[in-house]
Amino acid sequence: MLIDQHHRIHDYLRISLTDNCNLRCFYCMPNEDYHFMPHQQLMQPDEILKIAKTFVDLGVKKIRLTGGEPLVRKDAAEIIQSLGTLGVDLSITTNGTRVELFLDQLQAAGIKSINISLDTLQREKFQLITGRDLFHKVHDNIAALMQRGFKIKLNVVVVKGLNEQEILEFVSLTKDQPITVRFIEFMPFDGNKWNSDKLVTWQEMLQQIENKHLLTPIVTSVNDTSKYYAVDGHQGNLAFITTMSAPFCSTCNRIRLTADGKIKNCLFSESESDLLGTLRSGGDLTQLIRGAIWDKHAALGGQFSKEFEKIDANSLHNRSMIAIGG
């Protein structure tokens, strides 16, 4: 069992496969000149499997693959296939632009639920946010995944002045489709020019939606980062990820592993533990993992105030989101 000094049990590992991506979302990637990690610096498929097995032996029950974009990695299929043998709840977060190339492999690995990021339903705005004209791909791939029976959660990062006017259109998607739309509060990471004026809080989103729809809270697992709601008369659900205005650190069960094999015990942690280096030098992985989890701060990496209005994004010491793995 992996436990920290605040008595939280950690059984959910998020593995970043790469910091590379075929999109350029402004809130995630600092700029077009960002230098991706060289291949030899990344965990290789056999190393990922060995590390993942070690975590499973220590009590991890759920693994999510993320990035960067996990499906731009050439050996993604091999990695997905090998992790599918571990008997854990395996899932993936993807931008959805390359999913059509992996449908069989995702299914064969036992993946049942897929998180797809999509912040707008307008082609031009998609290009503005991501720097690429690939809205049609994501749209078609969501349909292809649903046809195959995958459960879909749409991740929508809401940024003031950019897409909060589309919230009700996203809610409409849940009317006749069994999808969950998750609205995510915009978070500060290295180079993403966050400030509190750009934040749309979940209370503001909720108010906008409740003006039009009857919502009923859904009780989920204690470790869930999302607050779930049923929409009266809709097949799908809504959820809010309230990291900034209502952090959920007291029940956190998450461990993050960057693509270069560093443990981050929190999305906002400044410190990292070099698991890949330890593996390559023949060191004790279990001891390193236990220590890294034990040291976890009580909340938000110990870096910022729970009052988001007081956060100075420039004073944070962290990677950009693309280099952490969301």
List 12, 27, 202, 240, residue binding ligand SAM (CB under 6 A): 27
- Binding piece for ligand SAM, criterion CB under 6 A, among 32-40, 183-191, 249-257, 288-296: 183-191
What mask, x for binding ligand SAM by CB under 6 A, covers residues 110 to 149? -------x--------------------------------
Residue 189 binding: pick among ligand SF4, ligand SAM, none (C-beta 5-8 Å cut-off by kind): ligand SAM
Give the separation between CA 51 and CA 285, rounded to whole angstroms: 8
Using the minimum distance from each CB to ligand SAM, give the nearer residue, 60 or 116.
116
Using the minimum distance from each CB to ligand SF4, give the nearer residue, 300 or 321.
321
Using the minimum distance from each CB to ligand SF4, give the nearer residue, 27 or 240.
27
Smallest distance from the beta carbon of 326 to ligand SAM, in angstroms?
3
Using the minimum distance from each CB to ligand SAM, give the nearer residue, 200 or 279.
200
Is residue 226 involved in binding ligand SAM (CB under 6 A)?
no
Give the separation between CA 60 and CA 50, rounded to whole angstroms: 13
Smallest distance from the beta carbon of 59 to ligand SF4, in angstroms?
28
Is residue 189 involved in binding ligand SAM (CB under 6 A)?
yes
What mask, x for binding ligand SAM by CB under 6 A, covers residues 7 to 26? --------------x-----
List 20, 95, 141, 245, residue binding ligand SAM (CB under 6 A): 95
Residue 29 binding: pick among ligand SAM, ligand SF4, none (C-beta 5-8 Å cut-off by kind): ligand SF4
Using the minimum distance from each CB to ligand SAM, give the nearer residue, 111 or 187.
187
Using the minimum distance from each CB to ligand SAM, give the nearer residue, 54 or 122.
122
H, E, C per residue of the chain: CCECCCCCECCEEEEECCCCCCCCCCCCCCCCCCCCCCHHHCCCHHHHHHHHHHHHHCCCCEEEEECCCHHHCCCHHHHHHHHCCCCCEEEEEECCCCHHHCHHHHHHCCCCEEEEECCCCCHHHHHHHHCCCCHHHHHHHHHHHHHCCCEEEEEEEEECCCCHHHHHHHHHHCCCCCCEEEEEECCCCCCCCCCHHHECCHHHHHHHHHCCCCEEEECCCCCCCEEEEEECCCCCEEEEECCCCCCCHHHCCEEEECCCCEEECCCCCCCCEEHHHHHHCCCCHHHHHHHHHHCCCCCHHHCCCCCHHHCCHHHCCCCCHHHHCC
List of residues contacting ligand SAM (CB under 6 A): 21, 27-28, 66-67, 69, 93-95, 117, 155, 157, 184, 186-187, 189, 192, 321-322, 326
